[in-house]
Amino acid sequence: MELINNNNKVKEIESNFFSSLVNVKSSVNDNKTRQYEDIVNSKLYNKIFWGTLPKDYTEFAKKAILNAKGTSLDIGCGSLVQTAALYANSKQNHILLDQSVEMLRIAKKRLANHNGKIPDNIKLLQADAFKLPFENETFEKIVSFGMIHCFENKTEFINEALRVLKPNGVFYFTTITSDRLFSRFYMNRLRKQKKIGEPLSSQKLLNLFNDKSYIIEYYKKGNMLFIIGIK
């Protein structure tokens, strides 16, 4: 995949595993990976706090991943706890990006478990989501599941993601909203613990895209906002 193999901003640290960071090391959250996976996959947790089910995320991810054309970038791919099978069955080129070495190594194992090896059309990349190591207008598709709400500077995150998306390229985002009172209370608690950024309503989140791209579809399930847009 030329975007990785010929990119002087990244270096290969393992087979099919690259990094654009100066110091390749585990992040502060790596030791919490298993706990995170248990929460993400918990039907009870998702239903109580966000009014959703894990299958809601998987169904949306299926649209994004299996309908891919050209090369796509997944920003904040995590350990692929809900998406490994989808990526393993995709024939398109994908770059899966996360800042966590531990998450990416688990993702690599999951992909190998499906196919016996990492598919040639998939590369894993450790990088900073706010400093993507790619030129403007590089990708046909950008996906990012459950990342926007993690940051205080949501606009900067969105701007950087859309910077590397080609004109007429498609993006898929999911993010938690503060629409429901109970969830808003819980989000404020998480923010005090510095686990997420400022909670925003669905409308305020959609407004972040107004000057940058045209939203072609969005819908809500519980406190989760699902966005499909075109640049």
Domains of the chain: 2-230 (3.40.50.150)
Please list the helix, strand and coil fractions of the chain in percent, rounded to the nearest 5, in that order. 40, 25, 40
* Residue whose structure tokens are 């099919």: 16
CB atoms within 10 A of CB 201: 13
The identity of residue 11, as a single letter, is: K
| Partners of 217 in beta bridges | 228
* Cα angle, residue 158 at apex, residues 153 and 161 outer, rounded to 5°: 130
Give the span between the Cα atoms of 212 and 35, in whole angstroms.
36
pLDDT in tens, 63-118: 999 986 899 999 999 999 999 999 999 999 999 999 999 899 999 999 999 988 99
Beta strands 214-221; 224-230: pairing state: antiparallel
pLDDT in tens, 139-192: 999 999 999 999 999 999 999 999 999 999 999 999 999 999 999 999 999 999
